[in-house]
Structure 1
Amino acid sequence: MSGGLIGLSGLIILFVLLIIRIPVAFAMFAVGFAGIWVLRDLNSAMSLLASESFTIASSAELVVVPLFILMGNVASVTGMSARLYDAAYAIVGQIRGGLALATVLGCAGFAALSGSSVASALTMGKVSMDQMNRFDYDNRLSTGVVAAGGTLGILIPPSTGFVIYAILTQQSIGRLFLAGILPGLLLLSMFMLTVVLLCWLMPGFGPRGPKSTMREKGRKMAGALPVLLVVILTIGGIYGGLFSPVEASAVGAGLVILIGVLEGRLGFARFWEAAKSSIVTSATVMLILISAHLINPFLALTHIPTLIGEYLSALDVAPMVVLGLILLTYLVLGCFLEGFAMLVLTMPIFFPVITQLGMDPIWFGVLVVLTLEMGLISPPVGVNVFVVKSVATDVPLGRIFAGVMPFWIAMLVTLAILVAFPQIALILPNTMIE
């Protein structure tokens, strides 16, 4: 059997394993290890497993993953994320759809702490769903805005999606974080516009909430101030050149822990809960990366990425058409595969094509991460939708998917804007980092 047939068989087996819900890391590990064993020998597979596991585990750049995850989990267990929501609600809660707008703003704030879309959706779902139900919000809007708002966690820095992309493509984490700011704010604005339009067209979707006095607004804003200062210091420190992304993750985690202790909200039990959750999430990410570094050499041995790359590069069409085909592939795959799985499986194939076409890899990274976000709310997988379902157990899954569709369309419009105007993503990294 030729290498191409072996590679194609391996990909088919991988997709079957993912469809039957085998964890992504284990599925990629099994196919990559077995594939190298078949194409080379057992010693080669064992040697690669040992060397890649050590290389990934000892990578200093990956320290940002557990530390930013810990920062977000500590903020969650100490109620800091709830205070972000309360502050946002005090400002916009009195207008039609204000609770939904506050949820979007709260998701954006928590995204700047955790870098995780699933964590953002779960945390803000617990915080905001009861409030929106209390004021008779349509459950399509209340669930849809939480699921969609949670996707901001993978785009607004710090973002685990950008970190993984940087590791896989050897790009600068700092430049990617900078590149995500304006697209993240653009997507935030599009989500808020979507809420406003929905509530204007269908007033019953989001009734007005009670007004907050100036004193209440000041008190709620003061409660969120420590969290906002942590975000400004960690993210601003990276962009100001005070410290690297790795150092920023340590500073952010340390500050959140210190604030929790000083406020009396973080005891040993809560810290242990946050630490355990962070360990599980970090271990999952590390397993996916190790598995990716097994399956990528297997695909390279089969020459499938090279053949596909040569085919796409040789197409007699404009480079933007090739980019459109790649993004369309991501949108389709997002209906069936988890985001990190798509990232590690496709980068060896698509990234060389992008570089050959002369496209900016930082801009491409922003586009890819945005399409991964869209996969988080795309049927039938839609990880964030199932996360929200775990919080809103009484809402049928079909209504949640119906609720996220206007936000999915808003994300598609945002993607089109970023494709048409690359400088939205590139202006900050190109002007602030030489």
Structure 2
Amino acid sequence: MSTGIVGGLGMLALLVLLVLRMPVAFAMFTVGFIGVTVLGSFSSALSLLASETFTLSSNPELIVVPLFILMGNVATETGMSRRLYDAAYAIIGSVRGGLASATIIGCGGFAALCGSSVASALTMGRVSLAEMDRYGYDPKLSTGAVAAGGTLGILIPPSTGFVVYAILTQQSIGRLFLAGVIPGLLLAALFIVMITILSFAIPGYGPSGPRTSLREKSTALIGAVPILGIVLLTIGGIYGGIFSPVEAAAVGTGLVITFGVVTRDLTLDAFWRAIKESVTTTATVMLILIAAHMLNPFLALSHIPQAIGEFLGQLDIGPYGVLLLILACYLVLGCFLEGFAMLVLTMPVFFPVITALGFDPIWFGVIVVLTLEMGLISPPIGVNVFIVKSVAKAVPLRDIFIGVMPFWLMMIVALLLLVIFPQIALYLPNTMIG
């Protein structure tokens, strides 16, 4: 049996295991280990499992993952995320669709603390859905805004998506963080534009919220100063060359914990909950990464990436035609696969093609992460949709998916803008790092 056939059967087995709902990491472990055993030997598979596990788990750059996750969980427990939403709510809540727009701003701010889309959607859903329901917002708009706003967590730095991409492709985490800033702000602005259009076009869809006095606005803004200060210090420190991403994660986490202790908002029970949640999330990410490094040698031995790369290279559609074909594959896969699984499965295949065609790997990382975001709200998987459903139990799942579709279209617009104008992503890393 040829190596290509073994590789094809392995990938088919992987898809079957994923369809059967086996956890992604264990599915990749199984296929990778058996594949290396068949194409190599049992001893080489065991040796690879031991060496890759140790090498990856001892990578100092990966410290940013548990630290930023812990920072986000502590911020949730201390109510810092609520204060950020309250500030946005006080400023723009009185206009049509203002509460939904405030939710988008709150999601963006919280994303800059935790780097997790699921955590952003869950936290902001608990904070904002009750408020929007109280003021008569259509459930499709309110739930759609929370689900879509949560996706900003994987694009606005610090982003676990960028960290995983950097590890898989040997790119700079700092440059990727910089590259995500303007696209993240652009996407948030496009979401707010869509909310405004829908609120004015459909009567009662996004009614005006309560007016707040100047004193109430000032009080809300003062309450958000600590979280904004921490965000500016940690992310600004990376951009200014003061901190490395790892150091910024440590500084930000320390400041959030210190603030919680000083204000007495962080109790021992709350801190313990934040630690447990952080350990669980970090273990999930690490297992997926280690499993990916087990699967990648199997793919290399089967020569599948080279074969697909040669096939794409032979297509007479030009570099941008190949890029659009790859993005179309991501959009389709996003309907069925979880984001990190899609990332680790496709990078060994698509990344060599992209670099051979002369595309910037940092820019491509932003493009890929944006398509992962789209998968978070695409049916039938749509992880963020199910997260919002767990908070808004009375809203039918169908209505939530309908509600996210306008935001999904805005993601397409952002994707096209990034393809047409790569400098949207590359301006900051090229000017601030060079």
Instruction: Report the TM-score range of the alignment, normalised by the length of the smaller protein.
Output: over 0.9
In 1: Cα distance, 2:74 partner to 2:219 partner = 22
- Superposition map of 1:122-161 within 5 A: 122-161=122-161
Letter in 1 for 2:215: R
| CA drift at 1:248 | 0.4
| CA drift at 1:157 | 0.4
Matched, 1:301 2:301: yes
Secondary structure of 2:204's aligned partner? helix
Matched, 1:206 2:206: yes
- Superposition map of 1:68-107 within 5 A: 68-107=68-107
| CA drift at 1:316 | 2.0
In 1: Cα distance, 2:337 partner to 2:2 partner = 27
| CA drift at 1:40 | 1.4
Residue by residue over 1:330-373, the C-alpha shift from the partner in whole angstroms, topping out at 9 and shown as x without a partner, is 00000000000110000000000011011100000000000000
Residue equivalent to 1:31:
31
Residue equivalent to 1:246:
246
Matched, 1:120 2:120: yes
Secondary structure of 1:121's aligned partner? helix
Secondary structure of 1:242's aligned partner? coil
Matched, 1:318 2:312: no
In 2: Cα distance, 1:18 partner to 1:413 partner = 30
Residue by residue over 1:8-45, the C-alpha shift from the partner in whole angstroms, topping out at 9 and shown as x without a partner, is 11111111111121111111111111111111121111
In 1: Cα distance, 2:381 partner to 2:207 partner = 31
Residue equivalent to 2:331:
331
In 1: Cα distance, 2:119 partner to 2:168 partner = 23
Deviating more after overlay: 312-321 vs 123-132: 312-321
Matched, 1:271 2:271: yes
In 2: Cα distance, 1:150 partner to 1:203 partner = 26
| CA drift at 1:300 | 0.5
In 2: Cα distance, 1:18 partner to 1:212 partner = 50
Unaligned runs of 5+ in 1: none
- Superposition map of 1:31-430 within 5 A: 31-430=31-430
| CA drift at 1:313 | 1.6
How many pairs align?
A: 434
In 2: Cα distance, 1:203 partner to 1:428 partner = 41
In 2: Cα distance, 1:120 partner to 1:166 partner = 22
Residue by residue over 1:250-270, the C-alpha shift from the partner in whole angstroms, topping out at 9 and shown as x without a partner, is 000000000000011001110
In 1: Cα distance, 2:162 partner to 2:156 partner = 10
| CA drift at 1:318 | 1.4
| CA drift at 1:235 | 0.2
| CA drift at 1:314 | 2.2
Letter in 2 for 1:432: M
Secondary structure of 1:207's aligned partner? coil
In 1: Cα distance, 2:132 partner to 2:22 partner = 35
Letter in 1 for 2:248: A
In 1: Cα distance, 2:395 partner to 2:105 partner = 23
Letter in 2 for 1:349: V
RMSD: 0.6
In 2: Cα distance, 1:362 partner to 1:166 partner = 9
Letter in 1 for 2:153: G
In 1: Cα distance, 2:282 partner to 2:179 partner = 24
Matched, 1:433 2:428: no
Residue equivalent to 2:9:
9
In 2: Cα distance, 1:346 partner to 1:213 partner = 52
- Identity score, percent: 69
Letter in 2 for 1:51: S
Q: What stretches of structure 1 move > 4 A for 4+ residues in a row?
A: none
Residue by residue over 1:265-297, the C-alpha shift from the partner in whole angstroms, topping out at 9 and shown as x without a partner, is 001110000000000000000000000000000
| CA drift at 1:203 | 2.4
| CA drift at 1:325 | 0.3
Letter in 1 for 2:251: V
Residue by residue over 1:290-329, the C-alpha shift from the partner in whole angstroms, topping out at 9 and shown as x without a partner, is 0000000001100000100111122222101000000000
| CA drift at 1:388 | 0.4
Secondary structure of 1:326's aligned partner? helix
In 2: Cα distance, 1:247 partner to 1:407 partner = 34
